[in-house]
Structure 1
């Protein structure tokens, strides 16, 4: 299968999951679908392409930006890197949606957070954290519900 087709497929899967996350974030099955099926499928694709791409012997490593760039010289490694972003941004979006639902934050206030997380992961998370601070009127925030606190 051509890499461009796989790129299109994983992007489509991720986009549809974001639509489900926004439209149906109060439904438990959405989280089960994402966690048990979508993340597994994308994780397998990631492993396949990262092994193929990183096995190309580019000489890259993580000690400098130039060496990290070398890691992504092959199209397989670049596709794996893209899948990595898709999965982790979607996971963050899943956490944001679930957390906002627990805190009764309006879905339309949540919408810009999810769009920004989809497009620029950490910026969307930052926006959600700011919204949580304003909503709760507390600067110090717990990442999980009260059942995890001591």
Structure 2
């Protein structure tokens, strides 16, 4: 299977679970599906691929690339396999972060309309969405503490 195909499968897989997270009713089955069928399988794919790379069984390209220097990482990411590995890494962590944000927002009484921009930012630029959520949730927590 080509790196391009692996990239597409992982990308569409993650998008399907982001759509569930954003628009499906958030019962235990949906949340478990996002965690185990979404995040877990992306993590499994990454683990298999990175283990293959680190043991020499899989060559992602990017000759001379490594994780020990910026130049080495740039070489890895310049190759299709390295970029695919990095992308699956982002997909898994961003989806997990989105799941945590959605659960936390539900528990704090935020409606879906308020959650959607944060989830979208987390999908598109993970740390930006998480940063925004941490600010918003802190303000809500302070309001509740001051009211009580």
Q: TM-score, normalised by structure 2?
A: 0.81
* Structure 2 Cα separation of the partners of residues 78 and 51 of structure 1: 16
8 A contact 1:53–1:77 mirrored in 2:
no
Partner of 1:79: 84
For residues 1-150 of structure 1, what are the structure 2 equivalents within 5 Å? 1-24=1-24, 26-54=26-54, 55=56, 56=59, 58-137=63-142
SS at match of 1:137: helix
Count of residues in correspondence between the two structures: 138
Distance of aligned partners of 1:98 and 1:25 in 2 relative to their CA distance in 1, 3 Å threshold: farther
Gaps of 5+ in 1: 139-150
Q: Distance in 2 between matches of 1:76 and 1:63?
A: 18
Corresponding residue SS for 2:92:
helix
Quote how far apart the aligned CAs of 1:7 are.
1.6
Measure the CA separation in 1 of the matches of 2:30 and 2:111.
Answer: 18
3-state SS, counterpart of residue 65 of structure 2: coil
Structure 2, unpaired ranges of 5+: 144-148
Determine if contact 1:92/1:117 at 8 Å carries over to the other structure: yes
* d(CA) in 2 for partners of 1:23, 1:5: 27
Task: Report deviation, 1:52.
Answer: 4.4
TM-superposition CA deviations, 1:14-60 (whole Å, max 9, x none): 11111111113631112211222223322232133324445348333
SS of equivalent residue, structure 1 residue 105: coil
Stretches of 4+ moved more than 6 A in 1?
none
Deviation string, structure 1 residues 90-110 (Cα, Å, up to 9, x no partner): 000000000001100121111
